[in-house]
Structure 1
Amino acid sequence: MLMWVLVAVGGAAGSALGLLLMRRPSTTRLMTATAAVCGLMGAFSVQLHSPELTAVLKYGVLGTAASMLAVGVTSRTWIGGDAPLRSALAVARNLAVYCVVAVTCTLLGYLALRSGFTLYKKFG
């Protein structure tokens, strides 16, 4: 029960962070924020923390902020006869770009910290 409460508290903080980052939404700002949040999530998953800290930060704050930024990346809809098709294609394209950026930055964050730990153990 405590874990669910901690995830909910982290989710509220992540929602506030997501709203702060989406104040003046531009594609560049949203993609940069997505890259930063997902990179932090990848780096955070390397270290072993207490389950409570993981619930608050990783699943609560970073997970909620990343999903809110995904909603901000979607484009506006058009008015016309082919609006549903054009809107669906635009949303699918933007979501695909968002997913590529998110997965790449999560992997880069994970590998950066993991390689640093490996080099530290090897040479230290």
Structure 2
Amino acid sequence: PSNISAWWNFGSLLGICLVLQILTGLFLAMHYTSDTMTAFSSVTHICRDVNYGWIIRYMHANGASMFFICLYMHVGRGLYYGSYTFLETWNIGVILLFTVMATAFMGYVLPWGQMSFWGA
């Protein structure tokens, strides 16, 4: 078709980023302690003591940024091409956007460091 361009790749890239986030999140959860007194030290334990834990953590952190870049490009493409005229699909997308933003906020607060404290 004549209207296919690179802008239509961001939905697939979102799926790839989501799979990456789930996999790295599962690996991080294996060594994470959720107690408020030991949460930050468990994150430093992952980075210092777990084999390749530092790269998994940085893949998870940078993957979240890439996810949101792809998400905003996907929404921008939808606005540009007028995809908002399909109301049911668009409304589900908006609900998913706010759900992803809430989930990202929870992940931001999870390490319980100073930035997490002041972010909350």
TM-score (norm 1): 0.39
Q: Greater relative contact order: 1 or 2 (C-alpha under 8 angstroms, separation 6 or more)?
A: 1
TM-score (norm 2): 0.40
